Amino acid sequence: MMESLRRRFSDRLKKINEFFHLLRKSLGYAPRSALPIVLGVIFLDSVLIAATPLALRGAVNELAGHAAGLALGYVALYVVLEAASAGGTAAFINRSYARLEYGVRYMLTTQAYHHLLDLPQATYLTRKVGQLTTIVGKGLQGAVSVQQALIRGLLPAVLQVLLVGGILFGTVPPTIAIIFVVFVVFYGVIFRHNLLLIMAGQRECVSADIEASALATDAVINHETIKLFGAGTELSTRIDAAYSSSRDRWISYAGMTAKSFGQTALVTLTCFGVALYLTAEQTLRGAMTVGGFVMVSAYFLRLIEPIRFLFGGVGRLAGGLVDFQQLLGLLSEPVELETGDPVLPGNGPLTLEFDRVAFAYPGRENVLDEISFKVPAGRAVALVGASGAGKSTIARLIFRLYSPDRGAIFVDGVAIDRFTPAAIRAAIAIVPQDTVLFHDSIAANIGFARPDASAAEIDEAVCLAGLAPLIERLPDGLETIVGERGLKLSGGEKQRVAIARAILKRPRLFVLDEATSALDSATERTILDNLARTTAGVTTIMIAHRLSAIRAANEILVIDHGRVVEQGNHAELLVRDGLYAHMWRAQTEHS
């Protein structure tokens, strides 16, 4: 019994701590200059609101006593206080609050997107893009709701409760002031209880939302594949199911908030009724003035407003906290480490060395097993082998998208983990196996490799990549927009954009991962000749299935099950009559 009480108490304490932690975090995103101004104006507004019923009481009492001069003075004061609060401070709060809110939106959006871009590759392989963007969008809105509920709901309510409480204790009989305290305490207890319950309900709704929108975004991204496989109906059914589960959860959540709203309305009305009854009774007995009655009723009515805002805001606050919590979770995921030297020394072609490198993707068997090889500066080395042998994985390790589990990789004799990933990536260019382009112009997609490149340099890269005939044919030339992920270009055209981009970068190490696999033989020959000229003197790693594309390499490494099983130039490997010779015969015999 004691143990279960202790556990319940510590659970509660944990939840309350978590709640305050989130509140503190959300305030952390408020611009420093805006927050004190907003808080100052809210304080002033609360003082005005608390003082107004006092002036009203004075006006009613003096009117009842027919003291014309004093009565008019109180009426004037009442009007001025009302106008100052309703017109002046309220407008100023809106204006200064906008600076705060948009400041938070800016800080959080930019921080969230910088963070997403800095997350390691592995994170993207386990999450859907729609999931990440929904978390950012909802989290941002959540932080704004939390701030709003706090700064425009909770804070004025607390300030007014304190001020009104103080005034009531000084001006009306204690029984009435005690009703007020009972009201605030009941209110507080229900508020806290409901907030925790509603947060739990919201959490379920939000995760259903994120799941549904991740599924829908994934479907939209893959719309072409869905059409090609006639899977539209199946996907629509799954999207329907996901959204209907989210709808059902939101409906039951709305029931929960309505119940909480009902409870608080009951407490408010009961306390209001009892307080007015007691005040009326005291007034009839002559213990209070009519002005005092009007004042008490004005205080309760005035308190109902911020309190209603607060209650109406419980759902928003709870929802905001849950969404914001999800975003904070994402923001706390570790980013790629940027420790190490930010620049690679020298500027010539790099030497590259793999020394007994072993690597496995998380939860998978070893892909690379004790791989060792060396590429001297300015030489071209080809990696060949069966599909899934681990060739692209070697490229990913060079780019530091992953780190070896054992062994080490060196550039110019220095271990690559001595440099930041950005430093390594700045020195290398890749033509990847699958080219994905930005929804932008061809020029922008090529220039992306080197934003300071001149138009003449982009034109040169376009020619070397064999893109010139295409550009001439297109009405908008280099300014042609390539569509979502480059969908308006053919596979071979996209690949040539990627080649132009890599050429423009003028790297110290080229990685060509199936760089010409989507091209016809004649175009491949021309581009390979151009590439040979461009990469002459630059260290190059070529990965290819079509052996004709790499036969000129200085050295060819045959990879099998994550190991280098043969090594030599084309002629040497043919003489050796091993796996390479077998692959070569298989390809030439069929052509």
Ligand X SMILES: Nc1ncnc2c1ncn2[C@@H]1O[C@H](COP(=O)(O)OP(=O)(O)OP(=O)(O)O)[C@@H](O)[C@H]1O
Nearest distance from residue 561's CB to ligand X, in Å?
Answer: 10
**Nearest residue (CB) to ligand X, 73 versus 407:** 407
**Nearest residue (CB) to ligand X, 393 versus 539:** 393
Q: Side by side, which strands form the sheet with 428-431?
A: 428-431, 509-513, 539-543, 380-385, 555-560, 563-568
Structure tokens at 156: 């004025």
Q: Are 368 and 359 in contact (CB under 8 A)?
A: yes
Q: Are 579 and 568 in contact (CB under 8 A)?
A: no
- 338 C-beta neighbours (distance < 10 Å), count: 11
**Nearest residue (CB) to ligand X, 187 versus 354:** 354
Nearest distance from residue 150's CB to ligand X, in Å?
Answer: 42
| SS3 category, 541 | strand
**Nearest residue (CB) to ligand X, 172 versus 367:** 367
Residue matched to tokens 């929802």: 319
Nearest distance from residue 42's CB to ligand X, in Å?
Answer: 51
Residue 562 is classified by DSSP as: T
Classify each residue of 164-196 as buried b or exposed e, where b means 16 or more C-beta atoms within 10 Å of its C-beta.
bbebbeebbeeebbebbeebbebbeebbeebbe
**Nearest residue (CB) to ligand X, 486 versus 562:** 562
Q: Report CA 223 to chain centroid distance, whole Å.
A: 24
Nearest distance from residue 543's CB to ligand X, in Å?
Answer: 7
Which amino acid belongs to residue 360? Answer: A
**Nearest residue (CB) to ligand X, 121 versus 252:** 121
Comparing CA positions, the residue from 62, 63, 59, 57 lying closest to residue 293 is 57
Nearest distance from residue 213's CB to ligand X, in Å?
Answer: 24
Nearest distance from residue 121's CB to ligand X, in Å?
Answer: 8
Structure tokens at 330: 């994402």
**Distance between CA 282 and CA 496 in Å, rounded?**
90
Q: Are 458 and 539 in contact (CB under 8 A)?
A: no
Nearest distance from residue 391's CB to ligand X, in Å?
Answer: 4
| SS3 category, 142 | helix
Nearest distance from residue 364's CB to ligand X, in Å?
Answer: 5
**Nearest residue (CB) to ligand X, 493 versus 514:** 514
**Nearest residue (CB) to ligand X, 458 versus 498:** 498
**Residue 340 burial by Cβ neighbours in a 10 Å radius (0-12, 13-18, 19+):** middle
Nearest distance from residue 388's CB to ligand X, in Å?
Answer: 4
**Distance between CA 299 and CA 12 in Å, rounded?**
33
Question: What are the residues whose beta carbons fall under 8 Å from the beta carbon of 134, sequence distance 6 or more?
Answer: 209, 210, 213, 214, 217
**Distance between CA 435 and CA 490 in Å, rounded?**
11
| SS3 category, 473 | helix
**Distance between CA 516 and CA 432 in Å, rounded?**
10
In sequence order, the β-bridge partners of residue 69 are: none
**Nearest residue (CB) to ligand X, 546 versus 576:** 546
**Nearest residue (CB) to ligand X, 367 versus 458:** 367
Nearest distance from residue 478's CB to ligand X, in Å?
Answer: 31
Nearest distance from residue 402's CB to ligand X, in Å?
Answer: 8
**Nearest residue (CB) to ligand X, 176 versus 557:** 557
**Nearest residue (CB) to ligand X, 58 versus 390:** 390
**Residue 476 burial by Cβ neighbours in a 10 Å radius (0-12, 13-18, 19+):** exposed
Q: Report CA 445 to chain centroid distance, whole Å.
A: 24
Nearest distance from residue 218's CB to ligand X, in Å?
Answer: 17
Which chain residues interact with ligand X by CB under 6 A?
Answer: 125, 361, 364, 367, 385, 387-393, 433
**Nearest residue (CB) to ligand X, 205 versus 389:** 389
Q: HSE-up of 191 (CA within 13 Å, CB side)?
A: 22
Question: What are the residues whose beta carbons fall under 8 Å from the beta carbon of 282, sequence distance 6 or more?
Answer: 172, 173, 176, 288, 292
**Nearest residue (CB) to ligand X, 30 versus 394:** 394
Nearest distance from residue 396's CB to ligand X, in Å?
Answer: 7
What's the Cα-to-Cα distance from 49 to each of 45, 52, 159, rounded to whole Å? 6, 5, 10
**Distance between CA 584 and CA 182 in Å, rounded?**
89
Region of 354 (left: φ > 0; alpha: ψ -120 to 50; beta: rest) is: beta
Nearest distance from residue 422's CB to ligand X, in Å?
Answer: 21
